[in-house]
Amino acid sequence: MQIDPFEFARRRDRRQGEIVAAEMGRVAALGWQALEGTFDVQGGGSDNGPSWIDVRVAARLRTICQRCLADLDVEVKADAHLELAASEAAVNAAEDDDIERIDGSRPLEVAALIEDELILALPMVGRHEVCEATVVPDRPQGPLSKALGAWTSKRLAD
Instruction: List residues binding Zn ion (CB under 5 A).
Output: 65, 67-68, 128, 131
Nearer to Zn ion, 68 or 91 (CB): 68
Least Å distance, CB 68 to Zn ion, is 3
Nearer Cβ to Zn ion (62/67) = 67
Smallest gap, in angstroms, from Cβ of residue 19 to Zn ion? 25
Residue 73 or 88: the one with the smaller Cβ distance to Zn ion is 73
The distance of closest approach from Cβ of residue 125 to Zn ion in the complex, given in angstroms and rounded to an integer, is 11
Q: Which residues of 114-139 are buried (b: 16+ CB within 10 A; e: fewer)?
A: bbbbbbebbeeebeeeeeeeeeeeee
- CA distance to 87, 101, 112, 127, 132, per residue, from 118 (Å): 24, 17, 10, 17, 26
